[in-house]
Amino acid sequence: MQDLLFDFISKYISLTDDEKNAILSLDIFRSVKKGTILLKEGQKSKDSYFVLQGCIRTYYVVDSEEKTTAFYTEMDALTPPCVISKTPSEYYISCVEDTILTVSNSDMEVEVNSKFPKFDAMCKILSEELLAKQRIDFDAFKTSSPEQRYMNLIEKRPDLIQRVPQYQLASYLGIKPESLSRLRARITQKK
């Protein structure tokens, strides 16, 4: 587990043995079973997540129906907005698969960043990359048809097609599961 994290970090900064040991001393690695809810609507949290292996999703419950807003897979980070705003969460986070992740909180981050300032610089770069990616994804979603969204998903995140239940994929694309089945059939016929 730790090697996955250290390999990811090494893309941004080099780590000394002291820095690696400081990370390991935080006890941030968690193995979580499929179906586990990490955060519930109305719950307060200080936890941020980094997926090393597996898949988690965020979703709202609107009129008793789940509305999936995102999937996070290997090397994706998630800090729920409620962590920043210090308010109850407006959505759920759950594990789509058995998942290995790191769980940290702002107190840990402040401690590590004060001891090792280069982590702060790395976090800033990661935050900027994440913000840009989310903006691009949001714009693409808002300006495309369900078929274009599905084709974009096949192109950019094909692994989700096999990893995620169809009803969750349909919700993520903003359509009903039956519509996704028809869309897949149409696309298959075109080929």
pLDDT tens digit at each of 191 positions of the chain: 788 899 999 999 998 998 898 888 888 999 999 999 999 999 999 999 999 999 999 999 999 999 999 999 999 999 999 999 999 999 999 999 999 999 999 888 888 888 888 888 888 888 899 889 889 989 988 999 999 999 999 999 999 999 999 999 999 999 999 999 999 888 888 86
Coil, strand, or helix at residue 187? helix
| Alpha helices (H) in 48-165, listed in sequence order | 81-85, 106-115, 117-142, 146-156, 159-163
* Torsion angle defined by CA atoms of residues 48, 52, 53 and 55, in that order, rounded to the nearest 10 degrees: 30
> For residue 64, what pLDDT is reported?
94
* Domains in the chain with CATH codes: 2-116 (2.60.120.10)
> For residue 83, what pLDDT is reported?
94
> For residue 100, what pLDDT is reported?
96
> For residue 144, what pLDDT is reported?
94
> For residue 130, what pLDDT is reported?
87
* Residues in CB range of 102: below 8 A, 6 or more apart: 5, 28, 29, 30, 49, 50, 52
